[in-house]
Amino acid sequence: MSEAVNLYDAKTHLSQLVERAARGEEIIIAKAGRPLARLVPLETAGLRRSPGALAGRIRMGADFDAPLPDDLAAGFEGA
């Protein structure tokens, strides 16, 4: 849920508004009743990936890196 805050109050209470946004709240900053900006939390990074996590679970065909058929290659080249 979002809450509208006027620009003067946003400047006065910026640190509190940032803390609220960091907890997941969306804050709309308005001037003279007209919304101007939105303060939202940053997306947190997902789980760190580790190389080799899917080792032994994925198989690729022997022709994985073989050239594409001419008609399919032409489609990629814009022909």
Q: Helix H segments across the chain? A: 7-12, 14-22, 70-76
Q: Per-residue pLDDT for 12 more than 90?
A: yes
What's the confidence (pLDDT) of residue 10? 95
What's the confidence (pLDDT) of residue 49? 81
Tokens of 72: 């399919």
Which tens digit of pLDDT belongs to each residue from 23-35?
999 999 999 999 9
Q: Where does the pLDDT of residue 14 fall: very low under 50, low under 70, confident under 90, or very high at 90 and above?
A: very high
User: Contact 28/5 with Cβ under 8 angstroms?
Assistant: yes
Whether this model's pTM surpasses 0.85: no
CATH number of the 2-39 domain = 3.40.1620
Domain ranges of the chain: 2-39
